[in-house]
Amino acid sequence: MYRLVDHLPALVVALLLLGLGGVCMIAGRAWQRRRGENNAGQTLYATTAALSLFTLLVGFTFSVALNRYDTRRELVVEETAACFSLWQRLQLQPAPFRAQMAATLKAYVDARLAWATGGQETDRERPGDAASDALMEQMWNLARSAGGDGARERLMVDSLTRVDDAAWRREAMAREHIPLSVIDALGLFLLLSAFSLGYSGAPDARLARLPHAVFLMLAAGAIFLVLDLDRPRSGLVKVNQAPMRELAGFMARDMAADRTLRP
């Protein structure tokens, strides 16, 4: 599953683990019958230890995924604030450059929204946002051409630098995912725990069928949630792009109300 995980939806991975876990549990039950032993009491401690280790690993990876989700969300707000500051300051530029800068920054915000909502399941090896990079380079060229007094130029340089910094950090964080080896370890721990549960089950398999099924569903659901949190573009839990969308709407209203901001 090493590379396959990155190309499958989180739900598919969870359902695959659920099915494999059921197979391992049945295999554990079959192995117990083959040995002809009633060993629930003797092996229960080993099963408990395996389940504890699995729970610890899931908790650790969930914490990492949740922290990265929070960081990605904060970076959206940070880049939006930097773009808003640049939007306010470019309105201090001379009229010929003001409209060009406004149109370029509006296109930049739209490009960032498109970048944030498209792409593969994961961004582990995804290149940078070439469209927004080109637009930001155009903004730098316009700022150089506009020139102006020292204070106005410093304000523009400061805002442009903040936007660049926020964009680079956001793209770098998008490439950060839970290592594939850790995801594989989660799957392996789940399968081994399922086998151990089957082997240590009660002699009457019907008594353990329901709790074992509940365990498998909870375990697969926990792994699904970890994977979903770790993928900011897809799944049920996505990084909210509302700040950027609100900024795009604000800029559109400003451009409609002020002719000097329209090309």
> What does the pLDDT look like over 138-179, one tens digit per residue?
999 988 887 767 777 888 889 999 999 999 999 888 888 888
At position 37, the amino acid (one-letter code) is E
Q: How far apart are CA 63 and CA 226, in angstroms?
A: 9
User: What is the arithmetic mean of pLDDT over 182-206?
Assistant: 81
pLDDT computed for residue 231 by the predictor: 84
Give the residue, 44 or 48, on which the prediction is more confident: 48
CB 10 within 8 A of CB 227: yes
Q: Among residues 125, 83, 113, 80, which one has the least CA distance to residue 243?
A: 80
Residue 9, pLDDT > 80, answer yes
Give tens-digit pLDDT for 69-82. 999 999 999 999 99
pTM: 0.82
CB 155 within 8 A of CB 42: no
Q: Among residues 145, 122, 137, which one has the least CA distance to residue 234?
A: 122
pLDDT computed for residue 93 by the predictor: 85
CA distances (Å), origin 223, targets 60, 62, 153, 179, 183: 11, 8, 51, 14, 8
Structure-token match 């939006």, residue found: 80
CB 198 within 8 A of CB 25: yes
Give the residue, 76 or 8, on which the prediction is more confident: 76
In this structure, of 36-45, 68-77, 132-141, the range with the lowest mean pLDDT score is: 36-45
Q: How far apart are CA 13 and CA 6, in angstroms?
A: 10
Three-state DSSP class for residue 161 = helix
Structure-token match 């680079």, residue found: 168
Give the residue, 73 or 38, on which the prediction is more confident: 73
Query: Where are the chain's structural domains?
Result: 4-261
In this structure, of 93-107, 120-134, 139-153, the range with the lowest mean pLDDT score is: 120-134
